[in-house]
Amino acid sequence: MGASFLSGRKNPLENRLVGGRPVGEAPAASDQVEGPPPHPECRFAEPAGLLSGGQQQMLALAQALAPDPRLLIIDELSLGLAPAVVEELLDVVAHLKGGGLTTVLVEQSVTVALHVASRAVFLEKGTVRFSGSTADLAERDDLLRSVFLEGGGRRARAAPAGGSAVAVDRDDGESPGEVLACAGLTVRFGGVTAVEEAGLTVREGEIVGLIGPNGAGKTTLVDALSGFVTPEAGRVRFAGADVTALGPRLRAMRALSSSCRPASGAWWS
């Protein structure tokens, strides 16, 4: 399936069990689903469509983690959620980071992204305007003034050195290997260019924040990385292989997973 899709009619445990599988494929009875459980106040017997936004987001994360991905893409973690709920979700992301999971966090809120990310890619009008450390981005007022900074109840600052956002060091002293990369990626819808010659690299064990204002092309870029959108130009590499021609299901089978919470009314049943 490639991305988490919550069914509004299924309960939380049913949603979690189908995570990462093609629609219609039943889970084996012996499956052991790992990852964060649904929210502690979750009503396990009720349809997921009745859960709060925070509970839905936690459930979407659990579903995306079910197939044990090598790379997780989280699209708009904090969208429409109260600051206290965002705090809880950030704790979950930090926990996943501690386990070495490579993550791309797509966020409009710089405050949220900089709290957990070790590196940042700033996208504006479909073009990468910045790629580097979160500490350097935090000093770029010329870029940050275009996005909403008051998110998650946290100040807009880079994660501290030695904290949860520091990239994993390898025992052999070498730099972490490349997990995901794209170069010259261009996506157009009719005559509108959504993403133009974008490039980024995500290395093993790090969290990369993909940041930008509304309409910057963030979701289009991650859809192209996940295989849901076919780029007009450019290449995508995952785990050392060119996956540009592969659809989302085949990329998911290679352990690339994405998580997004559906907007109101956007459920599949």
Encode pLDDT of 217-257 as tens digits. 999 999 999 999 999 999 999 999 999 999 988 998 899 98
Q: Quickly count: other Cβ atoms within 10 Å of residue 177's Cβ.
A: 11
Q: What confidence tier does 149 reach under pLDDT thresholds 50, 70, 90?
A: very low
What's the predicted TM-score (pTM) here?
0.72
Name which residue leads in pLDDT, 27 or 54: 54
- Average pLDDT, rounded, for the chain: 75
Report whether 229 contacts 251 (CB < 8 A).
Answer: no
Q: Quick one: pLDDT at residue 48?
A: 61
Report whether 71 contacts 255 (CB < 8 A).
Answer: yes
* Residue-wise pLDDT tens digits, 32-84: 334 454 444 455 556 666 677 677 777 777 778 877 889 999 888 887 788 88
Q: Where are the beta strands (DSSP E) in 76-167?
A: 102-107, 119-124, 127-133
